[in-house]
């Protein structure tokens, strides 16, 4: 980041600070998401926004090797108490938080003191991959579905700040909302809360596509309009923290962990994506399967091929593999299908008169994932598919648990990590510092929960994200 860029950002930040101050906003939350999938924050008074845009805000690089319980590991490039980074707010994303009066939010990029990009900044990684696709003449539109479980009285544990062993072997959460899966009764029961979620997101300029009860007790899902890859990840963070803020206002606790209880359907963090050249959606009006263009087919084939390794990015917690079970619409098999909710890669053609409706959905990811790593890694895998001229295998119809058991995705974090560490595509895209720090966190979290029961894993992680 050059001096001229910083000076321009400082001048703009002064104007933004004046605008926010006039709205009664006193503080700005600057967030980034670590490799464990936790959103971390430093905040500054509104009057310091211009200084932050010019000089950044200090933060230790060691958070790249923090685990879900706030313990830490180390990696060949990151670890220990030494060093400092600068957080620079993205002023284009600056948003007044309607659920938190007096506060605004902006995602931050991380730079070294020298002004160079920090090699383990996940958000900058996502931007680099989007630019790499743009260099191939492809624009990606992406969007995350956010699923969460609504509870009363905290996370349902005897200790709401669980740590490593002894584990918090707590009873299950106390769910808010009653009624069956996708039932109107559940929406009616929490209609005031859900209306507040919709209104707050609208006030913040977030376009909501759907909000509905999901399968598990107390579970809901909201999906928002697609954006560019970095913008989609930013929205995933903003939507989650908005739900958290609205929930607090209603005396409720949202659980974003992969599972609230072992043995039940968990929370997904599905990623939708489509490829575009100008105004043309490359997922339709082609000669490939179900109307895909050759470019779209090769890209999706690259994603499908890389799914075992991508799980270390998109299903990054030991708890993820409590969710990733067959016959639960979690996408437990490395296959694709037309509108097949059991396939890890689901293709959606959209209506004939809706050129923007065709897209693909990656179903095996969950909310423990860092969304910036997800969007960047999926792009890297897709572009590798393009480079290799891949084609898709025949689609799967019906439940693959009955017909395609040999395609089962890894059933543990260590299994996914083995594929990740063998992936030359992801290592090259991420770069060694980020790649190795991700691997170190995955290995350490697997060890952290090595002796825990499934219910102990669920209890220790469900309220951490």
Q: How far apart are CA 347 and CA 396, in angstroms?
A: 11
Neighbours of 142 (CB within 10 A): 27
Q: Do domains 3-118 and 128-461 have the same CATH topology?
A: no
Residue 161 has pLDDT above 80, yes or no: no
- Which residue has better confidence, 427 or 169? 427
> Token digits for 205?
């300029």
- Which DSSP symbol is given to 47? G
Residue 185 has pLDDT above 80, yes or no: yes
Residue 169 has pLDDT above 90, yes or no: no
Residue 356 has pLDDT above 80, yes or no: yes
The tens digit of pLDDT for each residue in 283-300 reads 999 999 999 999 999 999
The tens digit of pLDDT for each residue in 424-447 reads 999 999 999 999 999 999 999 999
- Give the pLDDT confidence score for residue 328 in this predicted structure: 94
Counting residues of the chain whose pLDDT is more than 70, the rounded percentage is 96
157: confidence class by pLDDT, cuts 50, 70, 90: very low
Dihedrals φ, ψ of 144, to 5°?
-100, 140
**CATH of 3-118 among 3.40.50.10140, 3.30.420.140, 3.10.20.70, 3.30.1490.20:** 3.10.20.70
Q: Residues, the chain, total? A: 465
Q: How far apart are CA 157 and CA 460, in angstroms?
A: 9
> Token digits for 138?
């492809």
Residue 162 has pLDDT above 90, yes or no: no
The tens digit of pLDDT for each residue in 35-49 reads 999 999 999 999 999
The tens digit of pLDDT for each residue in 92-113 reads 999 999 999 999 999 999 999 9
Question: Is the Cβ–Cβ distance between 86 and 58 less than 8 Å?
Answer: yes
Cα separation values, 62 from 75, 143, 281, 464, Å: 10, 29, 41, 19
Give every CB contact of residue 419 below 8 A, 6+ residues apart in sequence: 308, 309, 311, 312, 410
Dihedrals φ, ψ of 256, to 5°?
-105, 5
Is domain 128-461 in CATH 3.30.590.10, yes or no? yes
Q: What is the rounded average pLDDT for all residues in the chain?
A: 94
> Token digits for 380?
């890297």
Domain definitions of the chain by residue range: 3-118, 128-461
Neighbours of 58 (CB within 10 A): 11
Mean pLDDT, range 366-389, rounded to an integer: 98
Cα separation values, 434 from 109, 146, 180, 447, Å: 15, 25, 43, 20
- Which DSSP symbol is given to 284? S
CA quadruple 379, 385, 387, 392: dihedral, nearest 10: -140
């Amino acid at each position: 980041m050059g001096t001229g860029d910083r000076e321009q950002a400082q001048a703009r930040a002064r104007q933004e600070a004046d605008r926010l101050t006039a709205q009664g906003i006193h503080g700005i939350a600057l967030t980034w998401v670590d490799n464990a999938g936790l959103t971390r924050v430093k905040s500054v008074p509104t009057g310091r926004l211009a200084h932050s845009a010019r000089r950044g805000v200090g933060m230790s690089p060691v958070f790249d090797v923090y685990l879900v319980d706030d313990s830490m590991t180390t990696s060949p490039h990151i670890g220990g108490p030494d060093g400092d980074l600068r957080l620079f707010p993205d002023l284009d994303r600056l948003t007044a938080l309607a659920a938190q009066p007096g506060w605004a939010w902006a995602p931050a990029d991380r730079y070294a003191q020298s002004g160079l990009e920090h090699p383990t900044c996940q958000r900058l990684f996502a931007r680099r991959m989007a630019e790499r696709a743009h260099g191939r003449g492809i624009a990606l539109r992406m969007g995350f579905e956010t699923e969460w479980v609504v509870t009363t009285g905290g996370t349902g544990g005897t200790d709401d700040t669980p740590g490593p062993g002894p584990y918090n072997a707590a009873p299950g959460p106390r769910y808010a909302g009653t009624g069956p899966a996708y039932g109107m009764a559940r929406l009616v029961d929490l209609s005031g809360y859900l209306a507040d979620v919709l209104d707050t997101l609208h006030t913040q300029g977030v376009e909501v596509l759907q909000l509905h009860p999901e399968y598990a007790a107390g579970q809901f899902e909201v999906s928002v309009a697609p954006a560019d890859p970095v913008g989609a990840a930013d929205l995933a963070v903003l939507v989650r923290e908005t739900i958290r803020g609205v929930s607090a206002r209603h005396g409720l606790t949202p659980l974003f962990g992969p599972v609230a209880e072992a043995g039940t359907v968990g929370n997904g963090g599905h990623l939708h994506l489509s490829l575009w050249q100008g105004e043309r959606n490359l997922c339709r009006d082609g000669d490939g399967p179900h109307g895909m263009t050759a470019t779209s087919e090769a890209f999706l084939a690259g994603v499908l091929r890389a799914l075992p390794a991508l799980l270390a990015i998109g299903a990054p917690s030991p708890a993820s593999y409590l969710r990733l079970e067959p016959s639960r619409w979690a996408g437990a098999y490395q296959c694709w299908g037309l509108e097949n909710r059991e396939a890890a890669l689901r293709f959606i053609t959209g209506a004939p008169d809706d050129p923007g409706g065709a897209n693909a959905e990656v179903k095996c990811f969950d909310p423990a994932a860092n969304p910036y790593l997800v969007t960047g890694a999926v792009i890297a895998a897709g572009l590798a598919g393009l480079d290799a001229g891949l084609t898709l295998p025949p689609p799967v119809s019906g439940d693959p648990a009955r017909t395609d058991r040999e395609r089962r995705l890894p059933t543990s974090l260590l299994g996914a990590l083995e594929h990740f560490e063998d992936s030359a595509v992801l290592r090259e895209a991420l770069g060694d510092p980020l790649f190795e720090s991700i691997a170190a966190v995955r290995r350490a979290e697997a060890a952290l929960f090595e002796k825990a029961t499934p219910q102990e894993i669920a209890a220790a992680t469900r309220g951490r994200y």
